[in-house]
Amino acid sequence: MHIADALISPAVGGAMWAASAAAIAYCSKKVRETADDKIVPLMGVLGAFIFAVQMINFTIPATGSSGHLGGGLMLAILLGPYAAFLTIASVLTVQALFFADGGLLALGCNIFNLGFFPAFIAYPLIYRKISSDSTSRTRITVAAVIAAAVGLQMGAFSVVLETVSSGISALSFATFLLLMQPIHAVVGVVEGVVTASVIAFVAHARPEILQRSLLPDCTQAVINQTGEVFTASQLSTYSLRGVVLTFLVAALLTGGVASWFASQQPDGLEWSLAKVTAAGDVKGKQGTVHNVLADFQGTLAFLPDYSFKKDTSVQAGATEPMNAENVSKIGTSVSGVVGGLLTLALAALAGFLLRRRPLAA
Amino acid sequence: MNRITAALLDLKRLELLAHGDSSIHRIHPLAKTVVVIAFIALVVSCNRYQISALLPFAVFPIVVTSQSGLPPVFILKKIILLLPLLLCAALFNPIFDRESMLQIGSVTISGGWISFFSIQLRSVLTIGSAFILIGTTGLNAVCQALRCLGLPAVFTTQLLFLQRYIFVLAEESARASLARELRSCGNKGQGIASYGSLVGQLLLRTFGRAERVHAAMLARGFTGELHDRRARVFKTADLRFVIGWVTLFLIFRLHNLPMRIGSFVTATFP
């Protein structure tokens, strides 16, 4: 479910980076406050564990195909939401850097899609509520399946929103949604069953590990100055509000800044639309997508700038208006091909000339 | 060779490349990180029907690879292995976007195919630059750079822990996984039931290991942050590296150079 750099626009990537960075800062603060300095190495080692476990496949019953664990929900159950979010973020960072699983610019999107939903929605609001910290296998399984499925549905939906609002892929909102949601419903159920089988095993073999993971919440349930006692569940909703607010503010801020820059762009939207032959069709199709988008998040309103169709010749025209008018479409494409080949040859030559030579003895 | 062991060797090789010594390796990690981020942002900011304007950006990965002495075949192989995934991601563009856009002779090319190739090209460029960053810098130094950019220490410290323990844990799970494969003839017994207890066992051992590691680190004076033994100073050369490349990227982004060269050539030699 990782988004690649090639499919997102800088505005979407940047906004999600800001949102994820803010959440990382918030969670780091929370983790530091728990004052349990054991947790940082534990997070790292569990992150590595998720990596290792993702390499072990299991057979999915009745299908014959095999799958592997995602691990977001499992980390949340073992570490609690804040530490789990940071660990998922670092697993994704290593995947982006070493395996190019999702790109660097898309990292913010991926951290949000795969980290935020399991750690802050699926675990506290669904898993904990249903399982209520019992060790019964059935209860854990039901809770994990529902939580994992809901988390992945939200993540998949967020992938659709980010991709469609980036406007690189030609898939329409509805089609992409129909492709993503059913697949991830199945993936979610499998993830839930697998997570439950591991958690149930741990709950029987070493129940204190699961108890400890609840500790960060419990230790925070201190009595405040007025003598009022906060329970863990009260606190979790309090902190959840903090996280959601951080995300919202960051997204609004970057959205605002990005839209300000976008409106400074000289390539007029109307102008490029007029140049597109089937302007009416495009407008209708894209319009509905953006209506839906606008309903979901007013901040994304600047995005039409990025997702309307632009002609290659229009783009060339935006930088060199003289050329675009003189050169016919075919002429432009031939020039593009010739120039492109020459550029590549020049780049290769530069690479060859600058090649690192072994040091002379 | 076992699949997991192969993936591990690949990972180790990429990490080892960062120990090399070249003018690129010596550049401050912050400078390299900033340049790569600027590169990716400017590449993906091109519109989706753009192919020719993306080509000059190839200069960066090509030049840096050759200057740093990274093995180009290794990097290319890693990129090519990822292409099938990206082909799937872009597959729908030619299907849904059939409006014709370009004509070369009697062949008409639809917008969908143009954006399809544009996506492939973007992928190769962005993935290549990320591999180059890690191959010439290493995760340790990238974490330092992220720290300079304001990411919290808690995050970077556990990221480094993660990287250190991937090898230990992955080798352990490779052995466990191999043992399970050998015992389950014809794939029976590879199901979720055995998976749960296998992974559960690994998890328990992982917890034990994390505790021992932490105790050992405390005994050696660990205060919550990891340090790099190489102290680095941001020099003028690093600043030149950043300004030079970012300016070049901006020129590539603002002017469609191949189109200019092409129209010059086709006008001169009609």
Digit-by-digit pLDDT tens for chain A (361 residues) are: 788 888 888 888 888 988 999 999 999 888 888 766 778 888 888 888 888 887 777 776 665 566 677 888 999 998 889 999 999 998 888 888 887 777 888 899 999 999 999 999 999 888 888 888 777 888 888 999 999 999 999 998 998 888 888 887 777 888 888 888 888 888 888 888 888 888 888 888 877 777 655 544 433 333 333 344 444 444 444 455 555 666 566 555 555 554 444 433 333 333 333 343 333 333 333 444 444 443 443 333 333 333 333 333 334 333 334 344 444 445 556 666 676 677 777 777 777 776 665 554 4
Task: Verify that B64 and B188 share a domain, yes or no.
Answer: no
For residues A104 and B189, which has the higher predicted lDDT (pLDDT)?
A104
Distance from CA of B7 to the nearest CA of A (A): 9
How crowded is the C-beta side of B238, counted as CA atoms within 13 Å? 15
- B76 touches A: beta carbon within 8 Å: no
Confidence of residue B215 (pLDDT cuts 50, 70, 90): confident
Domain presence at residue B228 = no
* Total tally of structural domains belonging to chain B: 2
pTM of the model: 0.73
Do B118 and B213 lie in one domain? The reply is no
Q: Which of residues 148-177 of B touch A (CB under 8 A)?
A: 150-155, 157-166, 168-170, 172-174, 176-177
Nearest to A7 by CA among A122, A121, A113, A139: A113
Q: Which domain holds residue B31?
A: 1-151+233-259
Is B258–A343 a contact, with Cβ atoms under 8 angstroms apart? yes
B165 and B123 share one domain: no
| 8 Å CB contact of B210 and A45 | yes
Kindly list the residues from chain B whose CB atom is less than 8 angstroms away from the CB atom of residue A41: 158, 161, 210, 213-214, 217
**Mind telling me how many Å the CA of A227 is from chain B's nearest CA?**
32
Q: How far apart are the first and last CA of chain B?
A: 56
- Closest among A118, A102, A98 to B166, alpha carbons compared: A98
Q: How far apart are CA B121 and CA A6, in angstroms?
A: 8
Q: Do A58 and B195 touch (CB under 8 A)?
A: yes
d(CA A195, CA A140): 9
The domains located in chain A, with CATH, are 5-250 (1.10.1760.20), 316-353 (no CATH)
Same domain? B114 vs B37: yes
User: Which chain A residues have a beta carbon less than 8 Å from that of B254?
Assistant: 319
Cβ within 8 Å of residue A27, ≥6 positions away: A81, A82, A83, A85, A86, A243
Structure tokens at A333: 């494409």
Q: Is the pLDDT of residue B81 over 50?
A: yes
Give the list of residues 6+ apart from residue A35 with CB closer than 8 angstroms, or none: none
Q: Give the DSSP letter string of B162-224.
A: HHHHHHHHHHHHHHHHHHHHHHSGGGTT-SHHHHHHHHHHHHHHHHHHHHHHHHHHHHTT--S
Of A7, A105, A339, the CB nearest to B52: A339
Residue A195: list chain B partners with CB under 8 A: none
Are B173 and A103 a contacting pair at CB < 8 A? no
Q: What is the mean pLDDT of residues B204-230?
A: 80
- The sign of the dihedral angle between the CA atoms of B22, B27, B28, B34 is negative
B44–A330 CB contact, under 8 Å:
no
CA A175 to chain centre: 20
CB-based contact (8 Å) between B68 and chain A? Answer: yes
Residue B238 counted as domain residue = yes
- Chain A partners within 8 Å of B78 (Cβ): 100
Q: Do B52 and A45 touch (CB under 8 A)?
A: no
CA-based end-to-end distance of chain A? 50
- Does residue B195 surpass a pLDDT of 80? yes
A to B CB pairs, distance under 8 Å = 380
Task: Respond yes or no on whether ipTM tops 0.90.
Answer: no
Has residue B251 got a pLDDT over 50? yes
The answer to whether residues B63 and B88 belong to one domain is yes
Residues B60 and B164 placed together within one structural domain of the fold: no
Q: Are residues B11 and B60 in the same domain?
A: yes
What share of chain B has pLDDT > 90, as a percent? 7
Please tell me whether residues B202 and B94 are part of one structural domain.
no
Report chain B residues whose CB lies below 8 A from the CB of A334.
104, 262, 266
CA distance B191 to chain A (A): 5
Q: Which of A338, A341, A339, A350 is nearest to B62 (CA)?
A: A350
Residues from chain A contacting residue B172 (CB–CB below 8 Å): 52
- Which chain B residue shows the shortest CA-CA distance from A346? B59
A201: closest CA of chain B, how far (Å): 6
Q: Cβ contacts (< 8 Å) between A97 and chain B: which residues?
A: 130, 133-134, 139, 142
If asked whether residues B156 and B140 sit together in one domain, one would say no
**Angle formed at CA A294 by CA A291 and CA A297, multiple of 5 degrees:** 155
Q: From the list A31, A89, A356, which residue is nearest B68 (CB)?
A: A356
pLDDT for the residue numbered A356: 63
Q: Which residue of A has its CA nearest to B99?
A: A278
Are residue B63 and residue B102 in the same domain, yes or no?
yes
Determine, for residues B191 and A104 on separate chains, whether the beta-carbon distance falls below 8 Å. no
Residue from B82, B149, B192, B198 whose CB has the most chain A CBs within 10 Å, to mutate: B192
Residue B35 in this model has a pLDDT that exceeds 90 = yes
Query: CB A267: neighbour CB atoms within 10 A?
Result: 14
Distance from CA of A226 to the nearest CA of B (A): 32
The pLDDT, as a whole number, for residue A306 is 34
Average pLDDT for residues B78-102, to the nearest whole number? 74
Residue among A192, A190, A181 at smallest CA distance from A76: A192
pLDDT mean across residues, chain B = 82
pLDDT (0 to 100) of residue B228: 66
Regarding whether B7 and B34 lie in a shared domain, the answer is yes
**Which of these ranges, A104-108, A242-246, B33-37, B133-137, has the smallest mean pLDDT?**
A242-246
The reply to whether B6 and B42 lie within a common domain is yes
Which helix (H) or strand (E) is A227 found in, with range? none
Find the mean pLDDT for residues B247-268.
Answer: 83
CA distance A341 to B261: 10
Higher local confidence (pLDDT), B52 or A215: B52
Q: Does B58 lie at the interface with A, CB-CB under 8 angstroms? A: yes
With CB atoms and an 8 Å threshold, state whether A6 touches B53.
Answer: no
Residues 188-247, chain B, touching A (beta carbon < 8 A): 190-193, 195-204, 206-207, 209-211, 213-214, 217, 224
Residue among B65, B170, B256 minimizing CB distance to A51:
B170
- Tell which wins on pLDDT, B252 or A217: B252
Q: Is residue B267 part of a domain?
A: no
